[in-house]
Amino acid sequence: DTGVSQDPRHKITKRGQNVTFRCDPISEHNRLYWYRQTLGQGPEFLTYFQNEAQLEKSRLLSDRFSAERPKGSFSTLEIQRTEQGDSAMYLCASSPGSGEPGELFFGEGSRLTVL
């Protein structure tokens, strides 16, 4: 399977706990994006990487959120001290090359439920 994979697909946690999501992009893709999507809304941009460099982070993203792509391959998104408002689908996407984004290849998402 050469698509974008995300793990876990579903995560239920209690408020205040930390959670981490992993994304494995398509192997030759330089760019990796994280989006968040709530029910009835479109994906909301969180952050993106060009290889291992984090080029932009949304101002909407609180300090509780951190993302890494240490070797320019897989990426992790960590949410510390989760709140009920963090409940959402977290989507990862990758694309080849640099410059303006073309087609984004999305994973199936990681659904987070904070109780």
Task: Return phi, psi of residue 85, to 5°.
Answer: -70, -10
Using CB under 8 A as the binding rule, the residues of this chain from 28 to 57 that contact another protein are 33, 35, 40-45, 48, 50, 55-56
Q: Binding of another protein at residue 107 (CB under 8 A)?
A: yes
Assigned token pair, 100: 């303006």
Q: Binding of another protein at residue 21 (CB under 8 A)?
A: no
User: What gap in Å lies between CA 16 and CA 9, rounded to an integer?
Assistant: 20
Positions in the binding site for another protein (CB under 8 A): 4, 33, 35, 40-45, 48, 50, 55-56, 91, 93, 99-109, 111
